[in-house]
Amino acid sequence: MPNSTIVGYARVSSVDQNLDRQLVQLKAENVEKLFIDKVSGKNLDRPGFSAMMEYVREGDVLVICSMDRLARSLMDLLDVTRKLQNKGVTIKFLKEKIELSASGETSAISKLLLAMMGAVAEFERSLIRERQQQGIALAKARGVYRGRKPVDSERLEEAKRRIASGVPKTKVAKDLKIGRTTLYKYLKN
């Protein structure tokens, strides 16, 4: 068996959020190689996640603070954990206290807990989204919701200039702190 590495993966949903709590937990687990994302987990198209998936190999242990840091949907969670186990990687979720064996010989109770906890996390996220939408609707009805402030024209012009000079759109959006969707809408008009 090749040398094994304790690999950590941490994610927050936005650049403004703080990773400190996760980093402290991962350090306590003696993580040797760390992958980080500061993007939403609504899909698996994340640079740190992709690099981690490419890096891990047979014998490695992947440590994650919580299931919802790895995937937002139960289907993605089950798919990712299966792929990792097929590569020979053991997965350890700290919050849920679940460890999935690399050999695939994970206990039936661990498999059940994974599915149940993943489903609960997905349900919880749906409830949060629903409450958020209800709150926005109520605020609009009271006339106090204005939505996000529009991006100033100077930053949008700077974005257009950088893109014209060959800088990738995603990098421009990140550098100028403009949402990718907002940037694409602006470029479309």
Q: Among all residues, which ones are annotated catalytic? A: 13
What are 24's two structure tokens? 């402290």
- Angstrom distances, CA of residue 101 to CA of 48, 67, 132, 162: 23, 16, 37, 47
Does residue 64 sit in helix, strand or coil? strand
- Let me know the angle formed at the C-alpha of 79 by 77 and 13, rounded to the nearest 5 degrees: 35
Place of tokens 């609960």: 120
| Residue 87 contacts residue 29 (beta carbons within 8 Å) | no
What are 162's two structure tokens? 């950088």
| Residue 118 contacts residue 77 (beta carbons within 8 Å) | yes
